[in-house]
Amino acid sequence: MAKKIIITIDGWSSCGKSTLAKRLAKELGYIYVDSGAMYRAITLYFLRNNIDIEDKKEVKQALKSISLEFVFNPNSQHSEMYLNGENIEYVIRDLIIAEKVSDVAAIKEVREFAVAQQQKMGDKKGIVMDGRDIGTVVFPKAELKIFMTADNAVRVERRFKELFQKNPNVTIEEVKNNLEMRDYIDSNREVSPLKKAKDALELDNTNLTEEQQFKKAMEWVRARKS
């Protein structure tokens, strides 16, 4: 049997991490895990239950009531995020969640809760996980680490197009502010800030098509698997 590896993809918001990760997972027959969806699901739970994120005790207590699960949807051919048995894949993509998620993801207890589950998912390797701290904290020994970047303007446009399809009231200004705010919090927080792992390979996709990115990443995969 071919050697299975762990592939981590970290980078700024809206860099196309999940698009590449899904395609690699499909090609290799690996599991794809969207770690950001877990932080978004926790944020949704906190919002719905009015959890005061400044209150550590309340946060710890709330985490005990959260069960996260990825369930494969044969129609979309992707795993979707479930919170306490409810499919929340669609609602967590909303700007309301995006506005709060970076603050929630900066909480130490929240990260410990999510990282422990993420590490378990990689037990058997054969996994592609994207996020912000996957190559640095979750799987520091991963065989292939990719760090994705793209120009800000390109990222804003991509995210705007995605959100506009669901909500035509969204403005480019809102999307731009949200991306800048999240990048700032994600890369400046105390616990596991977004940073490029020393041994990560950088993929700047500002001027690359999805196909070109995929080809480049597959070259790296082949080199690591052999």
Binding site for ligand DC (CB under 6 A): 13, 35-36, 39-40, 101-102, 105, 131-134, 182, 186
Helix axes 152-166, 172-188, angle to 10 degrees: 120
DSSP 143: S
Q: Least distance from C-beta 2 to ligand DC, angstroms?
A: 27
The answer to whether the beta carbons of residues 5 and 150 sit under 8 Å apart is no
Q: What gap in Å lies between CA 152 and CA 184, rounded to an integer?
A: 13
- Of residues 89 and 133, the one with the C-beta less far from ligand DC: 133
Which H/E stretch holds residue 49?
none
Classify 202 as helix, strand or coil. strand
- Of residues 134 and 144, the one with the C-beta less far from ligand DC: 134
- Of residues 134 and 200, the one with the C-beta less far from ligand DC: 134
- Of residues 125 and 158, the one with the C-beta less far from ligand DC: 158
Which H/E stretch holds residue 20?
helix 17-28
Q: Least distance from C-beta 45 to ligand DC, angstroms?
A: 14
Q: What gap in Å lies between CA 87 and CA 193, rounded to an integer?
A: 29
Q: Least distance from C-beta 150 to ligand DC, angstroms?
A: 14
Q: Least distance from C-beta 222 to ligand DC, angstroms?
A: 26
